Amino acid sequence: MARKVQSQLLVSEITRDRADALALVRGGEARAEIWRMAIEGDGLAGLERTHAAELERLEALAQDMKLRDRLELARKATEDGYKLVDLEGRKRYPTRK
């Protein structure tokens, strides 16, 4: 059985936001789980290819909300604790919980 260890990743803000966008479209998974899958699999780009349709819907939602892009939406949703189902169908980003 593999032993779990704790480590710290230093990544750029854009890379963190990409992981947050993937976490959001995967049902609010923890960012750490996205990192694990990226490290053990095909990287963030591979995960983005796998979830391209969901990420496109996230981009459209961000545009509806007049946000810059899906990364800004993912960053705000992660900071505020929203899941994708909380945001779908809205025309504006909600005020904090």
pLDDT (tens digit per residue) in 12-65: 899 999 999 999 999 888 888 999 999 898 899 999 999 999 999 999 999 999
Residue 25 lies in a domain: yes
Q: How confident is the model at residue 66 (pLDDT cuts 50, 70, 90)?
A: very high
46: helix, strand or coil: helix
92: DSSP letter: S
Residue 60 lies in a domain: yes
Percentage of the chain lying above the pLDDT 90 cut: 71
Sequence-distant (≥ 6) Cβ neighbours of residue 70 within 8 angstroms: 21, 55, 58, 59, 61, 62
Among 32, 40, 84, smallest CA distance to 62 is for 84
* pLDDT value at residue 97: 59
Domain count, the chain: 1
Residue 3 lies in a domain: no
Residue 74 lies in a domain: yes
Residue 95 lies in a domain: no
Residue 5 lies in a domain: no
Residue 52 lies in a domain: yes
Domain that holds residue 36: 14-82
Percentage of the chain lying above the pLDDT 70 cut: 93
Q: What is the pLDDT of residues 26-39, one digit of tens each?
A: 988 888 899 999 98
Torsions phi, psi for 17 (to 5 deg): -65, -35
Using the predicted structure, report yes or no on whether residue 8 has a pLDDT greater than 80.
no
Using the predicted structure, report yes or no on whether residue 5 has a pLDDT greater than 70.
no
Residue 8 lies in a domain: no
